[in-house]
Structure 1
Amino acid sequence: MTARNRGLAGHSPQQVQSLLVQSFTQSAIAAQVGVTKQAVSCFVRRHSLTSNSPVERVVARQVQVLRMVKDGYKSAEIATRLGVSVLTISHDRKALGIPGFPKPKPAEHRTLCGLTRDHVQARLEQVNRAQLGRELGVSSSAVYSYCRRARLCKTMAGPDNPSNALPTFRL
């Protein structure tokens, strides 16, 4: 390459074309190379570079999303790395059948700061939620929320405990 035609931040048209073929978006290429998206767009037009068809790009992106989900990346991290929106990643996850959030654990498998449900229940027989929260270094709201999810709260009305239902007043 001559001094006048240095490429895109030192990258030749062939290198940029290979990134486009790998289904990198122009935004992702810009982030990787360290230039603006406009610079990549002008470079692509000037050198008549082409990327895959839209369907091929979507399939390739979904393969990358699947790989990154398996590697433990969150949707926001995947979106940043691929140069697309979080909404696009959530659509890809839905199309791939990957849930956005894991299913909640059953009540008997929940823990509070490492304490099992039985340990928390035994400790709550000795102290109140606020004291337990102070002991564990969490708020009483966190303890209450855990108790509700682990079905330890006795003061909540519900199908299992109708005696704690709010009183009804007759006029």
Structure 2
Amino acid sequence: MGNPEKRKAFIADVKIGNFDFQLIAVNLKSGRGISEQKFRDGQCKVIGAYITQQRAASREDILLVGDFNMIPGQDVSNFHHLGGDDLMDFISSWDLQDRYSHILPKGRANLLDGFAISRNYSAEYIRGSLRIFPMHWAMDIGREAFRVDVSDHLPFLANFRIDRSRDWVQCTKQL
């Protein structure tokens, strides 16, 4: 967004087995105030325009992941500027309702992290497989110790079909 001091999205073209996709990892502006909301709107407009450009160039599978710092149902404009439901399927908003991924200092938690895939094209995602991995349990430490020593975010896990490319199959069905 014109400021080299601000956080940037990371983009990688990835192929695992026969599943190829573009991964966009973000850490959007935190905060609940109006100025933070507007700043996130600006970030989301840039990322949303990039996703729209990739879709126009026939890039089928796009995974958008990371610290969205957006709460489903509250930060509507942010989700809209990322492409909304027309362009992206915000799976974490639906599959992880009433779950948390972000651990706050006072022990409370909420869902600020996000996982979205390009709508109608990511046929490799196995529906319902997205979950939050309790990394603090795997490390045998409490949630608060995990927050201090490792991260204030818990990781997501999702399953994908990698044994074949389903992009071509889906494309031929639409003809």
Q: Which has the higher contact order (CA 8 A, sep 6+)?
A: 2
Mark the structure with the bigger radius of gyration: 1
TM range (shorter): under 0.3
Q: Compute the TM-score of the two structures, normalised by the length of structure 2.
A: 0.22
Q: Compute the TM-score of the two structures, normalised by the length of structure 1.
A: 0.23
More strand by share: 2
More helix by share: 1
